[in-house]
Structure formats: C-alpha cells, structure tokens
Amino acid sequence: MKKKVGIMTFHRAINYGAVLQAYALNRKINELGFDCTTIDYACEAVDIQYRYRGRRTCTSWKNFVAHNLTCLLHWKKKARMESFRKKIPQSPKCDQQTIAEVAAEYDILVTGSDQVFNPECHRDDPAYYLNFAKEQKKVAYAASLGSVASFMNSRLNTTALLSDFTKLSFREADATEHISNQLARKCQTLVDPIWLLSKDEWCEVTGKKKLNQFIFVYNLMDYSYMRAFVKKLRQLTGYQVIAASRTIMGDAMYAECARNVSNCSPEDFLAFIRDAQYVVTDSFHGASFSILMQRPFFAALNPASQNTNSRISNVLKTAGLESRSITRESVPHMDCDIDWNRVEQNMSSQIQESIRFLMEVDKCEV
C-alpha cells in the first residue's frame, strides 16, 4: 500500500513562484510512488495579504489606496491562480482548529519549499513546523528561512519545533549551516521544487501562445535601478517590453515602457519566460525558471542591508551564473552567451540528490 504524504506549503498565495513550486513538489512526490496531497491549510496571515483593507489596518493613506487598488485590478490574477491550483491534489480545507484532524490520515508530513520557516510570511504560525503532527514522520524539503536574520527574530521556540523532524533540508546554504549548528545535526541543501521537473515537463503546463522578440520583466520590489536597466536593454535591442508586477505601484512604474500582463495565469507566466529574448527579474523563481527554460536573463539583487539575496545568489552560484546578477553599482555585459550545457551539468548533481531525498522520505534519519 502506498504511503500517504501531506504537504504544507504556501499554495494559496497569489504568487507565481508559490503556486508553481507547490505544483511541482506534489507532482514529483506522487510520481515517486507515494499517495500525496497538499493540505489545504488557510493561514490567516497569508490570506489577509490579498483581501481589501480598512484605513486603520494600513500604515498610511498611500498604502491603503495602493493595496486596495492592487486587489481590485488584480482580481483576474487571483481567479487564474485559483484555477491553476485545481491541478494540485488537495485535502479538505482546514485551519488551526481542524488541521490535526485532516492530517491524521497521513503517514508522512512534508513542509516546504518556499519560505515556510520565514516568520514574516506567516506571522509565526507553528503549523508550518508541523506542530499538529501526532505519530507521523515530519520532513522539511528545501525549506527557506527567508533570511537567517528574520528566522532568528521568530517568537517561536524553533529548536523545539524542529528537533523531532525525521529529515531536514533547506533551499539556501546559509540556512542549512544555521540550522545544522542550532540543532547539532547534519542538514542538507536541496533545490527548489521547480527543479524537480524538467523543461519538457514544465512545457506540458505552459501556455501555447508565442510572441516574438520581447523582454519579459517580472517585478516584485520596484527597484528603480532595475527599471533603468530594462529601459537601457530595450534601447539596445529594440525589443518590446512585457511586464508582470506584484502591485499596482509596479504596474504604474513600468507603464511608460512596457505592456502590462500582471494578471496573466501561471501557464502564461511560464510561456512569457519560455519565449522571451531576455528576462529581467528580482524574483528567485523568475531567475530559476529562466535558467530552467534556458533563457538569457538578469537577476536584480536587493540593495538593502537586510535582504533575502541568498536565495537568488545560491541558485546563481550552483548554476555557475553569478555573472547574471545586477546591482545598483554593477551591470553585467548584455551580450555574454550562456553555456547551457555547463549549467545543466552544474545543476544535475543537486537535482538528483534532491530526488533521492524525496524517494526516502519514509526512511528514519533523526
């Protein structure tokens, strides 16, 4: 009889990377011979990010207007995300009061990937540490802390919560080192779930329409220096710019130089990356999918002293593509070719190690 696996992740987030990594992890675990579903956990701290807000819950009038306009103008995006999530086998919907009952049917519980251990994402919700588990084996797959600094600010007793995990792995090397030292046990650094599927497998779920000669921008943080880089790249190439932004502010900032596709479906998001002549992004998953789809790309790093650059830097280092990063002070040569055969070789061993880890989620290694 197949072992039953339940996944805790951010599958309900209105975010391309979140839903696509959730799809990939679920699909791969099922392909490996387990009976896997994603636990449809409604985390209030996650869900509230995509609801309309009253003035008193916002830090300023500007924040109030920007947030609610984003919700209003991106409602199609939310509907398309919900439609895509139907591709993911899910449990009945649950919350903090009912999750233990829903989870009781599983033999193994997996938390990951994405930023499941980042307290800023779920406001210290212990469910992402599988605190509701009874007798089940607990596994962390390529979990991210956001940053070690943010993780250390958690109000939870993370040492106690992680100490009884059967297997622990993280997406960033600095997270692996930190938790290994914290728990005095060996942890692994593994790839984000999107790497568990091949380019051809992703193309199976990718939108069919193709466009010619364009630059695709996936913008989360509205960096002015990234926008200036996009304008320069457009001027040098003559290509049109197509941009997807996280907020209405991002839409407005790129309005003068780009066609807005911020409401596109996850399938079309993948198609824009697959077909672009160049991708410019400040997103970890934007950069990762560009590498996976073998598209020339540039990854913008956060200039703030407190940042989460390690997730992008880690995948660039593994792929041997550190030169594709851009900062406020440093811009790479725009005409440098990428040796994709070398990139595949660089990524291969960690991908295979990650698949082996999942094949053995039912093995005890505490």
**Tens digits of per-residue pLDDT, 235-244?**
999 999 999 9
Residue 72 lies in a domain: yes
288: domain CATH number is 3.40.50.2000
Residue closest to 19 by CA, chosen among 9, 31, 29, 7 = 9
Angle at CA 84, nearest 5°, toward 68 and 312?
75
Q: What is the pLDDT of residues 139-162, one digit of tens each?
A: 999 999 989 999 999 999 999 999
Residue 325 lies in a domain: yes
146: domain CATH number is 3.40.50
Residue 331 lies in a domain: yes
| Residue 73: other Cβ atoms inside 10 A | 15
Q: Do 174 and 232 fall within a single domain?
A: no
Q: Do 76 and 217 fall within a single domain?
A: no
Q: Do 36 and 148 fall within a single domain?
A: yes
Check if the beta carbon of residue 128 is closer than 8 Å to that of residue 8: yes
- d(CA 129, CA 109) in angstroms, rounded, equals 10
- d(CA 36, CA 28) in angstroms, rounded, equals 9
Q: What is the pLDDT of residues 24-81, one digit of tens each?
A: 999 999 999 999 999 999 998 888 877 777 887 788 887 887 777 788 778 899 999 9
Domain that holds residue 353: 4-197+349-359
Q: Do 167 and 214 fall within a single domain?
A: no
Q: What does the block give as tokens for 27?
A: 């699909």
Check if the beta carbon of residue 88 is closer than 8 Å to that of residue 193: no
| β-sheet bridge partners, residue 214 | 240
Percent of the chain exceeding pLDDT 90 equals 80
Q: Do 220 and 148 fall within a single domain?
A: no
- d(CA 268, CA 160) in angstroms, rounded, equals 42
Q: What is the pLDDT of residues 288-330, one digit of tens each?
A: 999 999 999 999 999 887 788 889 999 999 999 999 999 988 7
Q: What pLDDT was estimated at residue 240?
A: 97
Q: Do 185 and 311 fall within a single domain?
A: no
Residue 365 lies in a domain: no
Q: Do 27 and 173 fall within a single domain?
A: yes
Q: What is the pLDDT of residues 98-133, one digit of tens each?
A: 999 999 999 999 999 999 999 999 999 999 999 999
Residue 81 lies in a domain: yes
Residue 341 lies in a domain: no
Q: Do 106 and 206 fall within a single domain?
A: no
Residue 343 lies in a domain: no
> Amino acid letter at 34?
F
Residue closest to 146 by CA, chosen among 127, 124, 172 = 172
Q: Do 60 and 97 fall within a single domain?
A: yes
Angle at CA 202, nearest 5°, toward 86 and 145?
75
Residue 340 lies in a domain: no
| Residue 172: other Cβ atoms inside 10 A | 26
- d(CA 134, CA 31) in angstroms, rounded, equals 26
Q: Do 173 and 230 fall within a single domain?
A: no
Q: Do 46 and 177 fall within a single domain?
A: yes
Q: Do 34 and 161 fall within a single domain?
A: yes
3-state secondary structure the chain: CCCEEEEECCCCCCCHHHHHHHHHHHHHHHHCCCEEEECCECCHHHHHHHCCCCHHHCCCHHHHHHHHHHHHHCHHHHHHHHHHHCCCCECCCECCCCHHHHHCCCCEEEECCCCCCCHHHHCCCHHHHCCCCCCCEEEEEEECCCCHHHHHCCCCCHHHHHCCCCEEEECCHHHHHHHHHHHCCCCEECCCHHHHCCHHHHHCCCCCCCCCCEEEEEECCCCHHHHHHHHHHHHHHCCEEEEEECCHHHHHHHCCCCEECCCCCHHHHHHHHHHCCEEEECCHHHHHHHHHCCCCEEEECCCCCCCCHHHHHHHHHHHCCHHHEECCCCCCCCCCCCCHHHHHHHHHHHHHHHHHHHHCCCCCCC
Q: What pLDDT was estimated at residue 364?
A: 66
**Total domain count, the chain:** 2
